[in-house]
């Protein structure tokens, strides 16, 4: 009887967690994909005006070297310095969007930098995105370099 009860509880909890994401539409997912594409574009073109539109003021970023960037000014400054000192073609391929609640999502993406010498640096990026009532914005970024790469 205890097993049946536990199964019923976990079964209901599972459907409850699915219900949390059911209100998100294809439009939400597309808006988030567009947001990540805008981020990528802004990095490629060094467009600080676009970055200011798509990042939250309190953004924080942990880069693969272990450096933390806190706040929009520090994040943008670091992004511009990184794009200049580490030239290459950057691409982000979104693998998954997971909605944590109505206004927060977690985006996992493959992050690759094709260096001028043709080698490719393969990493992962996770973006915490938030809906501010007008649009989705990036609130946090975590870049990871898998061990052995």
Tokens of 64: 């693969």
Give the pLDDT score at 148. 66
Give the pLDDT score at 21. 45
pTM above 0.85, yes or no: no
Q: Which CATH class is domain 25-144?
A: alpha beta
Q: How far apart are CA 23 and CA 11, in angstroms?
A: 20
Task: Give the containing element (helix H, strand E) for 104.
Answer: strand 104-114
Per-residue pLDDT in tens (0 to 9) along the chain, 149 residues: 444 444 444 444 444 444 444 567 889 999 999 999 999 999 988 999 999 999 999 999 999 888 999 999 999 999 999 887 777 888 999 999 999 999 999 999 999 989 889 999 899 999 999 999 999 999 999 999 877 65
Give the pLDDT score at 120. 92
Cβ count near 63 (within 10 Å): 19
Give the pLDDT score at 20. 44
């Amino acid at each position: 009887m205890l097993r049946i009860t536990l199964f019923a509880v976990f079964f209901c909890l599972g459907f409850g967690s699915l219900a949390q994401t059911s209100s998100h539409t294809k439009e939400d997912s597309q808006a988030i994909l567009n947001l990540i594409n805008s981020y990528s574009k802004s990095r490629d073109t060094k467009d600080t005006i676009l970055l200011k539109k798509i990042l939250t003021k309190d953004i924080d970023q942990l880069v693969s070297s272990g450096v933390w960037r806190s706040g929009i000014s520090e994040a943008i400054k670091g992004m511009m310095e990184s794009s200049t000192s580490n030239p290459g073609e950057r691409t982000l391929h979104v693998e998954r969007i997971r909605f944590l609640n109505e206004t927060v999502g977690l985006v996992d993406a493959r992050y690759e930098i094709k260096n001028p010498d043709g080698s490719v640096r393969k990493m992962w990026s996770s973006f915490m995105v938030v809906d501010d009532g007008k649009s989705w914005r990036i609130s946090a970024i975590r870049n990871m370099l898998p061990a052995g790469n």
